[in-house]
Amino acid sequence: MSLPVTVTIIAMLLLNALFAAYELALASVRIDRLKNLAENKRRGASAALWMKSRMEGSLAVVQLGITLVGAVAAAVSGASADESLSPLFQKFLGVSESFSHVLSLICVVIPLSAVTIIVGELIPKVLAIKNSEWVCVTFSPAMWVFNVMVYPAVLVFEYSTKFFVAVVEKLLPSKNSDDHTTGLHELRAQVNLLRASQVIGMQEERIILQASRLSTMKVEDIMMPEDDIVMAVADAPLSENLVIAHMDLHTRFPVTIAKGDPQLIIGYVTFKDMVLLAKTHPGNPVLREIVRQIISLPRDMSLSEALRRMIAEHLHLALVRGDDGKVVGMITQEDIFEELVGDIEDEFDRLPRHVSPSGHQVVVGGGVMLGQLREVFKRPELGGTALATTTVDHWLNSGREDPLRGGDMVVIDGIWAQVRKVRRRKITEALLDPLGDPYKQPMKSSSH
């Protein structure tokens, strides 16, 4: 082949690569990102946004360009092959003129097709995927100029495409999945790709995926049932409410008019409020004087909307009501955040492991293991077949439908136990007595 022919073919290959890369970059770049770049006066962003906003016409421009450069490359290479190779085949192989034309075309078409696929398609498209924004912004001005030059043809292709797509869509069955569900699937696919590419870590992947579920999850899915709500009493002595706060280890408590009745909750107080009340009203302080407002959320409200409202109103907790208006549970911001990042544990959530003997009684933390208790009481059979690593919390609560609460007393394996402190339905401290109930009060018997 002559030098002009070789240069022409190489130029057509490079142009084909440019069109192929631009096509994929334009399809994959986000339009909101282009809008942001255009607002920031990024060079080429306005042209890119214009091309992105009318995809049918832009794709027609790209396909027209690919077709033109392909036709030029094929014509030039075919004519050159016929002139250069056909006489050689006739001379050295002794074949006919028509067969020599076929051989010369084969010798050019096969290598040229392979080079076109690799250099003109695969390599530019892979690079375009990794650099879609740069490719789109850089080459959009040139593509816009080319669009103006071939606009009549583009106009025909664009409207023809829209017409036939509309006809085909009418013939196809209607889609069953809504755009919201489809969007969530696309988001999760992108997150999985980012994780596989090590752009984000496992924790970031979990947060993004869980955040996408907040709009589909309901408040009732994670709320604390009304039977488990620990409440202070509005008109009870402050000392009684401080005992409740001490035994449950929360920072905020709903306040009810009648003890144990969640339907009569009138607000909430914080532990700091209780302490301040004791200092400012030492005579006869009651919580009714300092009750804060508490909001109510419907049980079928989405978690995303619940979190938005709680943040907007600067409230940490909210009551959950059913269709009949009755309180069915309670939810906190922390409950929602735990759906994003997993369990959030503070210093009180790590079950303590202290063992404090007092005579024949022992005060133990909820994290003390059964093996240690067996040594303390010199009873290797304590707990039966339970593992030595079983915690006091698990041992005392095992086999129960409802977890023990502060003040509850039980007898397990001959050991009398009184629950002293509870946090998030876990026993953090208990008093154990191997000789029985020292107060001679009725006990909730239990046997394992």
Average pLDDT in the chain: 82
Across 79-95, average pLDDT: 64
Strands 327-332 and 317-321: antiparallel
Q: pLDDT band at residue 173, thresholds of 50, 70 and 90?
A: low
Does an H or E element contain 56, and which? Answer: helix 55-84
Stronger pLDDT, 97 or 174, i.e. the higher one: 97
Q: pLDDT band at residue 442, thresholds of 50, 70 and 90?
A: very low
Across 298-320, average pLDDT: 91
Spatial CB neighbours of 5, under 8 Å, sequence gap ≥ 6: 76, 77, 80
Task: Examine the pLDDT at 347 and tell me if it is beyond 60.
Answer: no
Across 369-397, average pLDDT: 88
CB contact at 8 A, 229 and 217: no
Percent share of the chain, pLDDT over 70: 86
Task: Examine the pLDDT at 74 and tell me if it is beyond 90.
Answer: no
The two tokens of residue 380 are: 């290797």
pLDDT at 238: 87
For residue 404, count CB atoms less than 10 angstroms from its CB and return exposed for 0-12, middle for 13-18, buried for 19 or more: buried
253 bridge partner residues: 269
Task: Examine the pLDDT at 249 and tell me if it is beyond 80.
Answer: no
Q: Do domains 219-341 and 355-445 have the same CATH topology?
A: no
The verdict on pTM exceeding 0.85 is no
Stronger pLDDT, 191 or 144, i.e. the higher one: 144
pLDDT at 443: 47
The residue type at 37: L
210 — phi, psi (to 5°)? -70, -35
Q: pLDDT band at residue 447, thresholds of 50, 70 and 90?
A: very low
Say how far apart CA 92 and CA 234 lie, in whole Å: 110
The Cα diameter of the chain in Å comes to 122
Say how far apart CA 118 and CA 115 lie, in whole Å: 5
Terminal alpha carbon distance of the chain: 93
Across 149-157, average pLDDT: 85
Q: How many residues does the chain have?
A: 448
pLDDT at 174: 56
Query: Which range scores top for mean pLDDT: 65-69, 240-244, 297-301?
Result: 297-301
Task: Examine the pLDDT at 346 and tell me if it is beyond 60.
Answer: no
The two tokens of residue 48 are: 């890119």
pLDDT at 445: 47
Task: Examine the pLDDT at 153 and tell me if it is beyond 90.
Answer: no
Question: What's the CATH fold of domain 219-341?
Answer: CBS-domain (3.10.580)
Q: Over the stretch 8-64, which tens digit does the pLDDT of each residue have?
A: 888 888 999 999 999 999 988 888 889 989 898 899 999 999 999 888 888 888 988
For residue 262, count CB atoms less than 10 angstroms from its CB and return exposed for 0-12, middle for 13-18, buried for 19 or more: buried
pLDDT at 81: 58
Enumerate the domain spans of the chain: 3-171, 179-213, 219-341, 355-445
pLDDT at 1: 55
CATH number, domain 355-445, options 3.40.50.300, 3.30.465.10, 3.40.1410.10, 3.30.830.10: 3.30.465.10
